[in-house]
Structure 1
């Protein structure tokens, strides 16, 4: 991307919510101050120079960040050099735990920054890390990631990568300009089931892919007890004021990679979205907090459950659901359907045309439970074969967190492309603002911005399958 007024470009791309595609923005009718040229700084398969030792800083060491700190400190080839948090006790506690790992030989001098909201900026300036891991309030993700890259470090951001489309464009531009990675840390892509299904899809076991279902159904109302500090203290306001799918990536990330979306084969095209009534949070607040409590002074407008449908460039469909309010069991759906069979999650199930030898005779019955052993023996993902037992031992959502962090460090040290690029993080996160617009407009289709400007067609599929 050259010769472009970025501010004007981002302003113009906001028109996407009204149904204008990026293709039209770059047509002959586009204003003269927006000139599209081939992007010679494209980050789709970017390989950064090798790092013998990855010098790491962390911003935010609450529930997620503190776990990341300990696991990163446990991985060979890392050095934790700085930790920042608003709260002194969290910063110092994480630093102390990291120092003890490796008998204090690798993480000797960990700087701690806390107390002031701008201390993370001081940390970046003083310590000059190679990589920064960001696990803070969603509203800070884009700001911190962009500043990190501009200071010369790779940025690794908890989900979502950003809250608005404008922020996502700024992240893309910063990554391309600085030639630094910016990866959204979607840990679910490293689950055993998700890796198994990715391998099966790549091998054509279920034929041509047609449809997927993804969700994040997780009752998290108890977070509202974090009134002054912790996740609920800021996340509750998102639930109350925003009406759409606010947390799409856990379910969407894996199925997007099954379909090779944004990676040469297919891409996101448009989305429609609808939300239910907003009742559950209000009822929970009334039941569990005094009448004068601040949670009972909020007008909750975000629907309890959101259902969105994505249409891809090839014509495939993806149903995404989100509900962190209703009293129901956890699920991510994780369903991928093809012309020769269907793979589904929660519980793990496989149905193949013609059946599975020695288990089922046809596709009318699921292969599940102990009978899945034949499937795992044949299609276990090579990454899980290599790291599965170690990851389960190290923990973090059943080992997904550790495997993700291990792969990040491995790619940085070997100078290989990351498993998830900056564009994927933006496409997956874009579901939130697009769904909010669609809900507000009564389900009107919303066109996805093409953060790659057409370059996705030359991006190779994920290469961890040999």
Structure 2
């Protein structure tokens, strides 16, 4: 039977969950299966002053919609992106570079770094050294040396760091996380995470400079030939963000293509990373003896990220476009479609932020969680250690793929155990 906690909230024991049909258990689970976080502390009179770096992806978040946050500075290297930031966040303090903003801005507590992936670690260090808390786009870094540097500087400064990983707050991932905490999976021994982002017409990509592989001025952007496994966090968020496990070993293979127009395309023969791969698939083992498969494909007829979690008592599948909705299968029961809660509708977000947002509802949660963490003087849920746990395995996977799938150890960048 469900039991009540000190707040009167109804929870299912693992045994009760497994005795119910899948759908009945989810309803009976009540609060436990709809919990995600908590609303901001309304008793505070503190206001967080945010700066935003990067006027493409950086203009899609909602810091300014939090009742206790205001955007006080924005910057991008390109004028059209600076204008977008200015309009999105209703901010007149516009700087033409991060360096200028660091030198001149006086009314900033924290900064959102949404520049190109190879610049993240360097720019985060600059902001930490300036005394600003940081929320950063994925990935956290692109090398093991950068991972070590981030750990050193975060711990030295004592400032807050968060990585804005969207899959962590996908509605289905929140559901899986709560289901795991309830014991509903039994032993969750295998996770699959996938991120598919096709590059489209390869010939057009050579001449049409309006797409992501190019900067506004027509030069190649950081995305040109970027190794798929150096962008692993959407997939690994489904592991780390549900179980908290750490990847300790990885073996990865890469696909280069066989047809000349694919194998000899400049994306994979002429890029800044020396990477020949369009698609990569890896198998990873965790510190709890569990397995995880990660697919990162950039040449495929599919799009988006999805996951599957396999326990010895239950399995949960996120939607697969054109095939099935969210599905749960509990031992001894038939598979059932699950109506995953729309968590953004709950009172666990500040009221002005309770509406749909980008990346399957995650943008509001990322924005609110970072601001709430600063208001409460605590580490964000996706702190530096969780961020590196989602980033570093991909760096090692890329090395494994270049060594034809050799299994390699993944170093840990967790906080030191006292």
**Fold in common (TM above 0.5):** yes
Mapped partners of 1:244, 1:418: distance in 2? 27
Aligned residues: 361
Change (3 A) 1:144 1:150: same
Look up the SS of the partner of 1:231 in the other structure.
coil
Structure richer in helix, relative to its length: 1
Mapped partners of 2:393, 2:133: distance in 1? 24
Cα deviation, 1:175-211, whole Å, max 9, x if unaligned, reads 0000011211101211111111111011001101111
Mapped partners of 2:388, 2:258: distance in 1? 30
Change (3 A) 1:447 1:295: closer
Change (3 A) 1:84 1:382: closer
Corresponding residue number in structure 2 for 1:451: 413
2:317 to 340, 344, 354: 344
Corresponding residue number in structure 1 for 2:6: none
Mapped partners of 1:296, 1:276: distance in 2? 11
| 1:425 maps onto 2:387 in alignment | yes
Cα deviation, 1:51-99, whole Å, max 9, x if unaligned, reads 811111111112x11112xx22222111211111011222133213422
Mapped partners of 2:207, 2:153: distance in 1? 34
Corresponding residue number in structure 2 for 1:322: 296
Aligned pairs for 1:274-423 within 5 A: 274-278=253-257, 282-283=261-262, 298=270, 301-326=275-300, 328-347=301-320, 348-355=326-333, 360=334, 366-368=335-337, 372-373=338-339, 376=340, 380=341, 385-387=346-348, 393-423=355-385
What stretches of structure 2 of length at least 5 have no aligned partner? Answer: 1-43, 321-325
Change (3 A) 1:325 1:296: closer
Give the aligned CA root-mean-square deviation in angstroms.
3.1
Structure richer in strand, relative to its length: 2
Change (3 A) 1:268 1:410: same
Give yes or no for contact 2:55–2:76 (8 Å, CA) kept in 1: yes
1:122 CA drift (Å): 1.8
Give yes or no for contact 2:268–2:277 (8 Å, CA) kept in 1: no
Mapped partners of 1:284, 1:51: distance in 2? 58
Change (3 A) 1:295 1:270: closer
Look up the SS of the partner of 2:305 in the other structure.
coil
Mapped partners of 1:51, 1:179: distance in 2? 23
Task: Give TM-score, length-normalised by structure 2.
Answer: 0.78
Mapped partners of 2:342, 2:361: distance in 1? 15
Cα deviation, 1:400-450, whole Å, max 9, x if unaligned, reads 111211121122112233111101111211123211211122211221111
Cα deviation, 1:238-260, whole Å, max 9, x if unaligned, reads 67656562321112112212222
Mapped partners of 1:167, 1:56: distance in 2? 25
Mapped partners of 2:251, 2:212: distance in 1? 29
Cα deviation, 1:142-197, whole Å, max 9, x if unaligned, reads 01001101110111111111111101110111100000112111012111111111
1:257 to 241, 260, 272: 241
Corresponding residue number in structure 2 for 1:93: 84
Change (3 A) 1:153 1:230: farther
Task: Give TM-score, length-normalised by structure 1.
Answer: 0.70
Change (3 A) 1:155 1:203: same
Corresponding residue number in structure 1 for 2:58: 65
Look up the SS of the partner of 2:101 in the other structure.
helix
Give yes or no for contact 1:138–1:162 (8 Å, CA) kept in 2: yes
